[in-house]
Amino acid sequence: MQAKCQTNPTPNAPTGNLPEWQIAAAPVDYTQAVTTMEARARQIRVEGVSNLVWLLEHPPLYTAGTSANAKDLLNPAFPVYQTGRGGQYTYHGPGQRVAYVMLDLQQRGSDLRQYICDLEAWMIASLKDVGVTGERRAGRVGIWVATPNGENKIAAVGVRVRKWVTYHGVAINVNPDLSHYAGIVPCGISDYGVTSLHALGVKIPMSTLDEALQRNWSRIFA
């Protein structure tokens, strides 16, 4: 179910509780990424280490969330990974900024719905900084943009929570090969397409989006 979001969510994390940021220099194997996220989530809960935002890219692959329908896997041209995050099938690959967020939700009122709203607000604010208007749509998970050919999805959300620590996160299309989405029905939605910043004419480097994401984190999450 899509969260019903406040228009201007008020952060409820302690001021100054900023996460560690890591940016991977090369595409990260998906299995390795999941192992790393699970380990960090355990450390956050058991050892009290800092929260983490991990920015990376993956080699071309598909992932199946907990709601994935097998009929939506049209052509498995790339490796397919079953994953415990919410959502359905999605694509990851070079040119897409994945932000994995390992965050202690007990510091934020243990409110999962508001966390998802905040993730969406974070992406919307960061897209705005690079000149793109991203919006929520009722009944459609992710962030959407209006194009001359109708509405297209530019960003996805899929999270998992273990002992009130989040992992997995969001993905924003900067300049991936959009033809790779043809192998799946993205997020189970067949009536709308997928786009990217470059396809919209916003030909920025990945580092520009990274700067916007870091800048807007404190605005949304405190």
**CB 17 within 8 Å of CB 51:** yes
**Rounded Cα–Cα distance for residues 164 and 19 (Å):** 16
Which of these is catalytic: 44, 56, 187, 220? Answer: 187
User: What pLDDT band is residue 6 in, cutting at 50, 70 and 90?
Assistant: low
Given this model, what pLDDT does residue 15 score?
Answer: 44
The per-residue pLDDT of the chain, averaged, comes to: 91
pLDDT tens per residue, range 88-129: 899 999 999 999 999 999 999 999 999 999 999 999 999 999
pLDDT at 12 over 70: no
Given this model, what pLDDT does residue 140 score?
Answer: 85
Query: Do the strands 80-82 and 61-64 form a parallel or antiparallel pair, or are they unpaired?
Result: parallel
Q: Which two tokens stand for residue 56?
A: 């990376």
Given this model, what pLDDT does residue 9 score?
Answer: 45
pLDDT above 70: percentage of residues in the chain: 93
**CB 21 within 8 Å of CB 50:** no
Domain ranges of the chain: 20-221
20-221 CATH choice from 3.40.50.300, 2.70.98.60, 3.30.930.10, 2.40.50.100: 3.30.930.10
CA distances to 14, 71, 75, 121, 149 from 170, rounded to whole Å, are 23, 24, 23, 12, 25
The average pLDDT across 27-32 equals 98
In the chain, the DSSP E strands lie at 20-23, 52-56, 61-64, 80-82, 89-92, 96-102, 135-137, 140-147, 150-162, 165-173, 193-194
The average pLDDT across 197-204 equals 98
Given this model, what pLDDT does residue 17 score?
Answer: 67
pLDDT at 220 over 80: yes
**Lowest-pLDDT range of 3-17, 103-117, 207-221:** 3-17
pLDDT tens per residue, range 155-177: 999 999 999 999 999 999 999 99
CA dihedral 41, 1, 156, 26 (to 10 degrees): 20
In Å, how far from its chain's centre is CA 81? 17
pLDDT at 44 over 90: yes
The average pLDDT across 179-185 equals 93
Known active-site residue 5: no
SS3 169: strand
Element (H, E) at 43: helix 30-47
